[in-house]
Structure 1
Amino acid sequence: MSAAAGYEEISILKEIAELLNEGTDIRDILSGVLKKLLHVTGLQTGWIFLMDENGMYQLAADKALPPALAQDGKRRMCQGKCWCVNKYNNGQLNKATNIMECKRIEDAIEENAGETCGLTHHATVPLRAGAERFGILNVGSPYKTHFEKNELALLEAVAYQIGTALKRIKLTQREQETALVAERNRLARDLHDSVNQLLFSLSLTARAGEEMAKTDDVKQTFGYIQDLAQEALGEMRALIWQLRPHGLENGIVSALRSYAEMLGLSIETKVTGAASIPGSVEEALWRIGQEALANCKKHAQATAVQLFFQMSSDKVLLVIKDGGCGFHYDENLEIPSLGLKSMKTRTEALNGTFHLKSKTDSGTEIKIEIPL
């Protein structure tokens, strides 16, 4: 390699490293890096797949896809299998590689799906940091059927930078989640040790005042204060539970059962399947379940609920059903309450589906399905 070529390569890696260190939003970073890589190498087309532990992929970034791949909301890039994904999942993709032909392009040509702009081949590079793997970088150009060793070496260096940045971002997110849990625990302790104790003292004082009062008006006033203090105590206990759920270490179903009992609900549970739940999914299910059970108590006027929890290798299903008063719900209209909207938002943030069924005097059923 000439000195000029070596300097150019170092310059490219420096520019990309600066981009990778600037942000924390994965999709924005990958899009910026891909754009920069194509510009400095003279290549025209590229895309990045992020892969999970189960071999499922998602299109995280792309630039200048030919119409055959870009049409229908990039459907061909978001579903189906191809040779580079298969090689990655089979453990055969460990370094930058010339992929002889692109199966997605071949399928598009065979189906006469649109213009491919001369793109037939691409190079494929795994994104990794040490032993951890995160996905695939694919780049190509019209009528380019082969990548030289120095081109593959540069792509591999860039891919390693991307993998290292992805690892850094994930570690940062994990640290933030840990810090958030610690802060919730601290707040829960503070509420228990201060506000909760004050409300308990207020309740006892109101009871004593009621017993000591000599007129009915004063007795009623103290009784009213005591009732308010007891109601506030119940609300405070529920808030502390939401901040720091006792029993979540024993599983989401155990925690929701305990929460229902704390609310005074009789709960029937059924669990099928067994698998490990990612922390983000468990947290979302816990918050969704809390909101659903609280609705059963406050709005549905129910005394009993049913909880069904099912796990498989690729998804988790949570169903909470009550026999309460229910309400008229049209699935074609906007969800009527903030709590229900929150449940839907939490579900969809994890690419899950939220289903609500309710009918006046026939109870309500909430069904949450989240992919793993």
Structure 2
Amino acid sequence: MEHRIEELVTLKTIAETLNRSNELMPTLNTVLEKLLELTGLKAGWIFLSDGIGQYELAADAGLPPALEMEDKRHMRCGTCWCLDRFWENRLDKAVNILNCKRLEDAVTHRRGDTGGITHHATVPLTAGEKRLGVLNVAAPGKKHFHQDELALLQSVAFQIGSAIERARLYAAEQRRAELFAKLGEFSRDLGASAPEAPIPACALALMGKYFPWPFAAILRKSGTGFVISAVHAGGETFFPGTLIEPDALPWLKACITRRRRVEAAGAEIAGLTDHPRLRGKLPPLQAALAVPLQTAAWPAGALVVGTDLPVGFRPADGEVLEAIAEHLDAAVESAQLEEQCRELARLDERNRLARDLHDSVCQMLFSLSMTAKGAEQQLHGGDADAALAAVREMQSLSREALKEMRALIMQLRPAGLETGLVTALSEYGRKLGLKVSSRLIGVRELPRQAEEALWRIGQEALNNVSKHAQTDAASVELELGDRAAVLRISDSGVGMRPRPVDRHEASLGLFTMRERAMALGGELKIASDGRKGTLVEAAIPLPEGKEGPR
């Protein structure tokens, strides 16, 4: 009865110890020490194994000096009889091991004192159908464990196995949460990347920044083989264009043709890193994970990452990689849509210029032609005063036509931007006959597309001031912040009546301004008051970056 109570106390103590923490390694060491204390044994160690030939020393207590030497090197390498039996599925319950191979080798090679330990008991660690590793315990001079001792060890092993599985599930959920948190940052930065930067290069560089995979690449099918389109490894992104024969990567072919996630390991992944720029920059990859790319830009492509961890990839890695591929596909499609929007904006711009040419320059030239014909008739009739008045009218019309043509040419060619957006807009306004006051807030580089969009918006706004505001004064203000560039064009003229911004109802100029801003993820606001004039405000988001001189 007393022996039974001791067993129950042991099991209760072990259970309480295991339930105190989800940190696997510290818990296993604490439990092992507690087990030795309660059973009177002197030494113990736990091996965890994820596959044949793979194991790690997860916990140990009371090891003799022969096994402690060289930072326990002889406990971390090589094999032994208990692990061999475990991998061969011949270890399904607690057993006596006749002798310990590691201790036997220590004696043979005179590695130090074995503390009188020659034998140990071995217990498999399991959780349901999962085989996790082995628990070994020993004591000096003890060569045999009784059945009741083995039964107690087996009960403790069941508890340890359940705790290991619980801790691994907890760690897996933690890793999943961390990876998906990083995915949010990745998505934000990918969306904010410079529009002119190649999306594959941005995506791979950001993967290197946020995720724990030392190798990432985009591959596409080319003929019967595969081409490595882009790679990020060793802190750099490059475009090798290396052609790989299909037989070298059969798992990649399965990923692309079957449109599913595939993992590969060992010799199957050797061809991925066979490039001069990668030599010496990567640890040996243990496994690769590939997911298909669905976008039209890569109709037969895959996103591949590699890891140097012996355990390979966890389920969370695959889930996050699939989400990254979806974000990459969406970014490419978004870029294509933005380019289509820009093309539509260019077409609208051509239509607007054609309309302006017809409404202004063509009408002036027609008036000039009619006035010239009238002057000719008056000269033939001898009316010199009328002919002189007609010539003066012709001069006025030609000056107006020249002014209009210059304004339209300036809109076609964004000259002057090399001196800065504010300076260029101020000069443009002066050419329209406006007195322009300007102000620049903040200093940083503007991406080319953002600068050109704000230039076009500013031109249209100043044109509207010149034509409709009934004032010769305008203000240009550019505010460069960390996340956005805001251009404000204002005047104190007569204002304008509220107008919709729908394509079918708004003026073409206002609609084009709005589309230019929206094509880059920005917005356009127009505030107008008959007593205070009009304010046009365009805000364009900017990628995060350090401020610097223009």
Q: What range is the shorter-chain TM-score in?
A: 0.5 to 0.7
In structure 2, the partner of 1:155 is 153
Q: CA deviation at 1:270?
A: 3.9
> Cα gap change, 1:252/1:23 in structure 2, threshold over 3 Å: closer, same or farther?
farther
> Cα gap change, 1:134/1:186 in structure 2, threshold over 3 Å: closer, same or farther?
same
In structure 1, the partner of 2:426 is none
Over the aligned positions, Cα root-mean-square deviation in angstroms equals 4.2
Residues 102 and 120, structure 1, Cα contact 8 Å, conserved in 2:
yes
Distance 2:200 2:270 in 1: 35
Residues 316 and 370, structure 1, Cα contact 8 Å, conserved in 2:
no
Say whether residues 1:268 and 2:232 are aligned partners: no
SS of structure 1 residue aligned to 2:37: helix
1:10-49 per-position Cα deviation (integer Å, ceiling 9, x unaligned): 2222222222222233221111111110011100011111
In structure 2, the partner of 1:225 is none
Distance 1:22 1:111 in 2: 41
In structure 1, the partner of 2:105 is 107
Aligned equivalent of 1:81, options 76, 79, 82 = 79
Residues 47 and 59, structure 1, Cα contact 8 Å, conserved in 2:
yes
> Cα gap change, 1:270/1:231 in structure 2, threshold over 3 Å: closer, same or farther?
closer
Q: CA deviation at 1:129?
A: 0.6
Aligned equivalent of 2:50, options 45, 52, 65 = 52
In structure 2, the partner of 1:203 is none
In structure 1, the partner of 2:266 is 311
> Cα gap change, 1:30/1:318 in structure 2, threshold over 3 Å: closer, same or farther?
farther
In structure 1, the partner of 2:128 is 130
> Cα gap change, 1:120/1:167 in structure 2, threshold over 3 Å: closer, same or farther?
same
TM-score, with length taken from structure 2: 0.42
In structure 2, the partner of 1:302 is none
AA in 2 matched with 1:312:
A
In structure 1, the partner of 2:479 is none
Equivalent residue runs for 1:285-324 within 5 Å: 311-312=266-267, 318-322=273-277
Residues 204 and 217, structure 2, Cα contact 8 Å, conserved in 1:
no
Q: CA deviation at 1:182?
A: 3.2
Residues 274 and 311, structure 1, Cα contact 8 Å, conserved in 2:
no
1:268-317 per-position Cα deviation (integer Å, ceiling 9, x unaligned): 154746679xxxxxxxxxxxxxxxxxxxxxxxxxxxxxxxx983289997
Distance 2:218 2:68 in 1: 43
Q: CA deviation at 1:243?
A: 8.1
In structure 2, the partner of 1:141 is 139
SS of structure 1 residue aligned to 2:276: strand
Q: Percent identity?
A: 35
Residues 201 and 230, structure 2, Cα contact 8 Å, conserved in 1:
no
Q: CA deviation at 1:5?
A: 2.6
Residues 229 and 239, structure 2, Cα contact 8 Å, conserved in 1:
no
> Cα gap change, 1:315/1:54 in structure 2, threshold over 3 Å: closer, same or farther?
farther
Residues 97 and 152, structure 1, Cα contact 8 Å, conserved in 2:
yes
TM-score, with length taken from structure 1: 0.59
> Cα gap change, 1:173/1:275 in structure 2, threshold over 3 Å: closer, same or farther?
farther
Distance 1:265 1:81 in 2: 43
Q: CA deviation at 1:181?
A: 3.7
Q: CA deviation at 1:131?
A: 0.6
> Cα gap change, 1:236/1:80 in structure 2, threshold over 3 Å: closer, same or farther?
closer
Distance 1:38 1:234 in 2: 56
SS of structure 2 residue aligned to 1:254: strand
In structure 2, the partner of 1:254 is 219
Q: CA deviation at 1:105?
A: 1.7
1:56-98 per-position Cα deviation (integer Å, ceiling 9, x unaligned): 2221211121222222332322222221111101101001101
Equivalent residue runs for 1:104-253 within 5 Å: 104-190=102-188, 195=192, 230=196
Equivalent residue runs for 1:337-356 within 5 Å: none
Residues 26 and 166, structure 1, Cα contact 8 Å, conserved in 2:
yes
Q: Which has the larger radius of gyration?
A: 2
Unaligned 5+ segments in structure 1 are 201-229, 277-308, 324-330, 332-339, 351-366
